[in-house]
């Protein structure tokens, strides 16, 4: 006689930050038995990192991940599981063989124009260079960029970078992509303006492991939710009435029956150098069209406090290339055209009719989230959607 599967109180599909937060809360607040499954071979989702033995660098496998937040609830929560370094993110850009600080600030402006403008003079200059677009609200990215920082700076630092990032002429992209393009009329070149910022002292993976360090949480990797040969598959869980938190692609959940949502993805090319430090900073943007990649990440420079554990003679750099994603690629950035938004709304309506399934995370809600946003939405989803299922 076949043995009947013993199901847990909650199954979480995806071991990224959304799923890990839900699991931790379910155990802490309800003493639930939780099963996490993930199709990948590691926890942490796109924030997963590992140590590179040759250089001593912590590699962010899916691109640079920097933790920052002004949300006190999120900051208090994450500090339960990790301490943070005092890292402050700063970005530089190479344009025409010269390096400039970003985001655009008074230092960028004065260096670019070989000037010594005061804040008021720089403001007047930018407005003059925005021309007829100054103070307007253009609908395409090209004109929006010019209206925000003037034509010369936009064409130097934004236009070609964005064209490479989206493989599309900026005049054909929606202005919403750069609505928040900052320009600072002082010498503040911090990338983020949040209250709290830093990197986990022991690395991302150690942080994530602590979140689910409880015998009531089981993690099974290399497991596909849609593979009916494994016990925690969609069909079996629905038939058994087990609550599910699903953080995979929402269109995949419904077998793409309304069509596919579109994403951008990123490819990385690794380059190793016989030197201790190649760029002198963690992230270098390449603003010119002739350089095929958008930016390069030098991982050692995220953790200068680990200098004694790093190889002084070798460093590793990843060059980042952006392109449209296929169904087999890792989805990074939702494209969010009007058609995509309309399609997602249809999928969201179908999701609302799944009484025992909670959809979350970037893929489950077709939204681009920073890490602190993911955690915040997970804490809210637990209170409002998951807790009632566990109580029921």
Instruction: Check 86, 180, 239, 274 and give the catalytic one.
Output: 180
Active site residue 216: no
Among 213, 368, 383, 384, the active-site one is 368
**How big is the chain, counted in residues?**
392
Q: Map tokens 């070609």 to a residue.
A: 160
- For residue 131, give every residue at least 6 positions away whose Cβ sits within 8 Å of its Cβ, in sequence order, or none: 146, 151
Catalytic pick among 196, 320, 344, 366:
320
41, two tokens: 């071979």
Distance CA 16, CA 26 (A): 15
Residue 320 is among the residues annotated as catalytic for this protein: yes
Annotation marks residue 368 as catalytic? yes
Comparing CA positions, the residue from 3, 108, 9 lying closest to residue 392 is 9
Q: Is 370 among the residues known to form the active site?
A: yes
Q: What are the structure tokens assigned to 79, written together?
A: 């500090």
Which helix (H) or strand (E) segment is 37 a member of?
A: strand 34-37
195, 69 Cβ separation under 8 angstroms: yes
In terms of Cα–Cα distance, which of 107, 103, 178 is closest to 140? 178
d(CA 68, CA 89): 9
Report helix, strand or coil for 63: coil
Q: Which residue in 38, 52, 204, 264 is the catalytic one?
A: 264
For residue 190, give Cα distances in angstroms to 176, 209, 218. Answer: 23, 30, 40
**Coil, strand, or helix at residue 172?**
helix
Query: Active-site residue among 184, 196, 197, 366?
Result: 184
Residue 322 near residue 294, CB atoms below 8 Å = yes
Give the list of residues 6+ apart from residue 346 with CB closer than 8 angstroms, or none.
258
For 29, other C-beta atoms within 10 Å of its C-beta total 13
> Has 184 been annotated as catalytic?
yes
Q: State yes or no: is 98 an active-site residue.
A: no
Instruction: Report yes or no: 160 and 129 within 8 Å, Cβ to Cβ.
Output: no
Closest by CA to 31, choosing from 53, 7, 8, 51, is 8
- Which active-site residues does the annotation give? 180, 184, 264, 295, 320, 368, 370
């Amino acid at each position: 006689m076949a043995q009947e599967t013993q199901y847990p109180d909650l199954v979480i599909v995806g071991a990224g930050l959304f799923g890990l937060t839900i699991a931790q809360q379910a155990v802490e607040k309800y003493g639930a038995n939780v099963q996490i499954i993930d199709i990948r071979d590691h926890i942490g989702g796109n924030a997963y990192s590992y140590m590179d033995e040759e250089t001593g660098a912590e590699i962010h496998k899916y691109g640079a991940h920097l933790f920052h937040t002004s949300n006190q609830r999120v900051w208090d929560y994450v500090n339960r599981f990790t301490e943070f370094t005092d890292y402050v993110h700063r970005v530089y850009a190479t344009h025409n063989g010269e390096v400039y600080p970003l985001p655009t600030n008074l230092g960028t402006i004065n260096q670019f124009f070989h000037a010594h403008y005061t804040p008021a003079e720089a403001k007047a200059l930018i407005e003059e260079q925005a021309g007829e677009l100054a103070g307007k609200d253009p609908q395409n990215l090209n004109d929006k960029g010019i209206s925000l920082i003037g034509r010369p700076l936009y064409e130097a630092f934004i236009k070609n970078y964005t064209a490479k990032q989206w493989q599309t002429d900026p005049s054909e992209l929606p202005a919403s992509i750069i609505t928040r393009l900052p320009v600072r009329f002082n010498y503040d070149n911090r990338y983020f303006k949040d209250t709290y910022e830093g990197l986990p002292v022991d690395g991302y993976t150690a942080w994530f492991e602590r979140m689910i360090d409880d015998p009531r949480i089981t993690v099974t990797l290399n497991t596909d939710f849609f593979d009916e040969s494994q016990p925690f598959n969609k069909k079996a869980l629905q038939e058994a009435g087990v609550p599910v938190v699903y953080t995979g692609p929402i269109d995949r959940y419904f077998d793409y029956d309304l069509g596919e949502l579109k994403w951008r993805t990123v490819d990385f090319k690794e380059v190793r150098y016989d030197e201790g430090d190649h760029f002198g900073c963690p992230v270098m943007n390449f603003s010119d069209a002739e350089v095929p990649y958008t930016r390069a990440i030098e991982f050692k420079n995220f953790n200068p406090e680990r200098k004694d554990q790093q190889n002084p003679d070798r460093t590793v750099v990843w060059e980042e290339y952006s392109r449209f994603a296929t169904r087999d690629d890792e989805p990074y950035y939702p494209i969010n055209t009007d058609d995509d938004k309309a399609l997602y709304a249809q999928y969201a309506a179908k999701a609302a009719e799944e009484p025992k399934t909670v959809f979350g995370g970037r893929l489950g809600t077709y939204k681009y989230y920073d890490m602190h946003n993911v955690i915040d939405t997970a804490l809210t989803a637990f209170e409002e959607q998951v807790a009632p299922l566990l109580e029921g």
